[in-house]
Structure 1
Amino acid sequence: MAKLYVFGIGGTGSRVLKSLTMLLASGVKLQNDFDTLVPIIIDPDAANGDLNRTADILTKYQNIYNSVGEDNQLFATKILTLKQLLNDKLPSVSDHFKFGMTNTGQKFGEFIDYNGLDKENQALIDLLFSKNNLESDMTVGFKGNPNIGSIVLNKFTDSPEYKEFTRSFNPGDAIFIISSIFGGTGASGFPLLLKNLRLNKPEIENSNIISSSKIGAISYLPYFKVANSNDDNKAIDSTTFFSKSKAALSYYQHAIFDNKESINAFYYLGDYSNNNMPYSEGKSDQRNNAHFLELAGALSVIDFTKDFNSLTEIDSTIIKEFGIEPHEGSKLKLDHLGQWSKNQISAPLSKMVLLSKFLNKSLDVLFQNLGEFNRKDNGISREFYNQEFYRSYFLKFIHYFDEWMDEMEDNDVSFAPYHDNQEHDTLLDFVKGKDVERGGFFKKNKASANQIIKEAHTIAKSKKHDDESEPSRFLKILDEVLTTQITKILN
């Protein structure tokens, strides 16, 4: 079995990791014997809202996984931090998925000790960086300035986290890098990280294995705009996104693709979108809505593991783009996805959506229903719903999942494959384009959630999950029931 290290750089990296975590929770799996995901978020803006939301989602996922074990379809993939991977007790290594960044809580001029330079070197710096660059507060990241990021991020290989990463890397492990090409952190961080990964330095543990490992990456072209700010001196301006992307692509061609020993698989994603994100230079205010293209980016990680064994040695790069089927309007449904993407996510994602709807709309009906599922010995006790697993971990993760789905629908390019007006008696009629009979005169209601409750009682009565812990039994029974229902609906 092997580990996949996923470096998420900047805000886009955090949001794609969030989408990947949602897919893994739903039952989508890494392929070709990759059984462990190691997310590593690189962002100098430690207070970034996207970063901290993703870190909390990853932690909630871990809490659920640790409570139910690995023999499940939902939450089935192991996710570990570097410290957990090595079982280290070093206080210098983080245990919360965030890559430690040093000396970023200051202005760029202070970082390079501008005032301590002689006049000749100050003159050189003045040619390369503007006064605004030197005064830029790096507490909130690089604010769309890859020239600053390339200087600062060149130090991250000296960090304790990078050393722990190299220590834990084994033959057969792989690396995937997520970044954007139109900002500051991602555009500068990706080529620097890739360059360091490919260097074989005897003083770095396992450097010979890492330098020859298979590496994939996704680079985001512009896919949103930033709303106008009242500040004429704003640091981030989306009118520069395309020019920055062209400059970065030109550099990538020279530094990465012309160098045939750099990367095995490279994915492009982007969309000309009128979707405006609120203006923010960082910290907790930078909390962008989830976007369908971030879900597509998460699928690129799955695709990389799918193609892993067919990737050649480091002498050429497979380049891929993401496309959808022709459609009318801006709202995407499951049938608009390509066949492979649809096969990967239709059933798992629909099952997770139905699980959330059942908990929101039908739990009270379940409680009122007599049957084995509501009994502690074979099913689930009422006390379970007040315990830490359910209230602090599971329900909060489901809330994040609902938030993620809602945000993807509220975009210029909208992913909206499900109806949102179901009640208990119509719960199963929720997939757009897959109508389920709601009943009527002389017709049976096949859309009622009573079918879920009835089958849950039957499975609990069979005693097949009696040896499981209560959290594991809860997930296993509901997964079995929902899988049956989703298979009927989608086929």
Structure 2
Amino acid sequence: MPRLFVFGIGGTGARVIKSLTLLLAAGVQTNGYEIVPIIIDPHKDLPELKDCKNLMRLYKKIHNSTYKDGKGNEKGLFFHSNMISLNEIMPEVGPNSFDQDERIDASFGDLIAYNTLAKGDVNRDLIDLLYTEGTLRTPLSVGFKGNPNIGTVVLNNFEDAAWYKSFESILDAEDRVFIVSSIFGGTGASGFPLLVKTLRESSNPTVKNIVIGALPVMPYFKLTEPDSASNHKEIDSNNFFTKTKSALSYYDKNLTGVNALYYVADPTEQSTPYINNEESQDNKAHLVELIGASGILDFLNKDFTKIDSNHYDYALKEDANTIDFKNLGDELRDLIDSELTNYLVFTKLNPLLKSFPDAAINKNELFNDQFYRSDFVRDLEEFNVRYFSKWLSELSENERKFKPFNLSTSTDALHLLKVGSPIKNKTLFGLKNRRFDTSNFINRMETLRSKYKHIPIDSKASKYLALLNGAIIEVLNEEYNK
């Protein structure tokens, strides 16, 4: 099976990979590719980095529980695509994790051995011309604080790292590489061109000719104004556009060998900026990150016969502050509409099924109290509540709102779930207000049992997800096509 190695460089890289993981959970397809995320970010204490790694760990755990015996869901259902870490392919590179670079507990000055140079040394004088005293004191454990000039120096020799050498040694001709980074900060802006250069100059012919895609993310948010009295004043979002212009100018002249470049940005500034604090950076999910993740999936569905640079830009169908499925471009809508809708219904139904112990499906498939207290069901609940539901909620609350759903819709009125939904509240024998509710899906699960009889009854996780997923797809397809 071919693999896509997704390099998420810096905070933006991790946030796009987070959106990608949630889309895969919803059943969006990867054209048969396994996904191998590799996060590059020296800021190991960043909460959103830890959150992204835990999300991927949960995804993998649920996928493995469902597909462990090859008896799981058929293609196109929840958690179908395999996500693995580089460490699983090559255990010798270290413990199982999705990030590979190491934390650097040193200042930039210490890293370049500034203090070992004697005063009057021409090299010390040159460094003094290039960097301020504050820059030399910058602790690298919290990233590069929007300074690509620091990142370029720090990351310049990552090709010598053991994990990178292992990565090059396992790359097959059918594999692909995709790089996600911002180009208005420090880590991503420096790491992206360095990684492309390293790949294209490799002595390994397979690596040198590998198909490469990239998502250089342009500005899509602003930060609170830096305060001279604050501990977090190094990053000034007023400089984001200047940095972006400089990066684009550099890429135009010097960056070659990328098969597909996907550009995305949101130039509309928020009226309420993100908190300027690199120690937390606990900011809401943004539509740009979702669109960026869709670019990765688009890349997997394109053919590349030679190293030509193809450029793709994304524009909304309508420039509005509140976006639903009608405002999205047709290709993106077709990619995620049904999948996100299906999975949102799943998050609403999953906690309720244990409340119907006498339902035929629970009795016939032995979905009993023990099953509903299992680690598998608990993992699903954590994934849905802590990540998927929170993600949709944050997308609907940001300045550029992505709000295709009425998230507060109750399970006895699911016909109201999607904004502008064509599903009508039903009537039965002339009686009004027959609700489109949980019972529609529970009953359908029972009728689908024969379709999934090939899944052994002791593979409960596989059978449960297949039945519920299949019921949601069939019921919604019928309702939306009426």
Give me the TM-score of the superposition, normalised by structure 1.
Answer: 0.91
The 8 Å contact of residues 93 and 160 in structure 1, kept in 2 or not, is answered as no
| Residues 56-95 of structure 1 aligned to structure 2 (within 5 Å) | 56-69=54-67, 71-72=72-73, 73-86=77-90, 88=91, 90=92, 92-95=93-96
Which of these residues, 453, 467, 479, is aligned with residue 477 of structure 1? 467
Contact 1:235 1:281 in 2 (8 A): no
CA distance in 2, matches of 1:161, 1:281: 30
Q: Is 1:335 matched with 2:319?
A: no
Q: Match for residue 3 of structure 1?
A: 3
Render the CA deviation track for 1:376-423: whole Å, top value 9, x for unaligned.
Answer: x525222111111111x2111112111111111111111000012322
Alpha-carbon separation, structure 2, partners of 1:396 and 1:273: 34
After superposition, residues 162-201 of structure 1 pair within 5 angstroms as 162-201=164-203
Number of equivalenced pairs: 466
- Is 2:306 aligned against 1:325? no
Moved more, 158-167 or 10-19: 158-167
- Partners of 2:98 and 2:451 lie apart in 1 by 41
Change (3 A) 1:109 1:466: closer
Task: Quickly say closer, same or farther: Cα 1:331–1:134, change in 2 above 3 A.
Answer: same
Compute the displacement of 1:464 (Å).
2.1
- Paired residue for 2:156? 154
CA distance in 1, matches of 2:135, 2:397: 35
Q: Using the alignment, how far apart are the partners of 1:486 and 1:299 within structure 2?
A: 23
* 1:458 correspondence with 2:447: yes
| Deviation, structure 1 residue 424 | 2.7
1:46 aligned residue = 44
d(CA) in 2 for partners of 1:74 and 1:379? 21
Distance 1:467 1:157, change over 3 A: same
2:456 to 467, 470, 478: 467
What is the rounded CA distance, in whole Å, between the counterparts of 1:304 and 1:250 in structure 2? 24
Give the letter for the 2:377 counterpart. Answer: Y
Residue 306 of structure 2 is matched in structure 1 by 313
Normalised by the size of structure 2, how large is the TM-score? 0.92
- Whole-angstrom CA distance in 1 between matches of 2:464 and 2:129: 63
Q: Which amino acid aligns with 1:354?
A: V
Q: Distance in 1 between matches of 2:14 and 2:355?
A: 38
CA contact (8 A) 1:325 1:337 kept: yes
CA distance in 2, matches of 1:268, 1:463: 42
Gaps of 5+ in 1: 202-206
Contact 1:42 1:99 survives alignment (8 Å):
yes
Q: What is the aligned-residue identity percentage?
A: 34
| Paired position in structure 2 for 1:424 | 411
Tell me the CA shift for residue 200 of structure 1. Answer: 2.5
Q: Deviations over 1:302-341 (max 9, x none)?
A: 111111x2x2311x210000112126x4111112111111
Kept after mapping to 2: 8 A contact 1:105/1:139? yes
Q: Secondary structure of the residue that 1:74 maps to in structure 2?
A: coil
Tell me, yes or no, if structure 1 residue 301 matches structure 2 residue 302. Answer: no
Name the stretch that deviates more: 423-432 or 39-48: 423-432
- C-alpha contact (below 8 Å) 1:6/1:40 kept by paired residues: yes
> What are the ranges of 5 or more consecutive residues in structure 2 without an aligned counterpart?
none
Equivalent-residue separation in structure 2 for 1:490 and 1:196 (angstroms): 49
For residue 435 of structure 1, report the CA deviation from its aligned partner: 3.8
Quote the Cα distance in structure 1 between the aligned partners of 2:195 and 2:277.
24
Secondary structure (helix, strand or coil) at the match of 1:225 reads coil
Instruction: Provide the residue aligned with 1:204 in structure 2.
Output: none
User: RMSD of aligned C-alpha atoms?
Assistant: 1.9
In 2, distance between residues paired with 1:368 and 1:29?
32
1:37 and 1:229 mapped to 2: Cα distance? 38
Task: Give a deviation string over 1:171-202, Cα, whole Å, max 9, x none.
Answer: 1101000000100000000001111011122x
State whether residues 347 and 490 of structure 1, in contact with CA within 8 Å, keep that contact through their aligned partners in structure 2: no
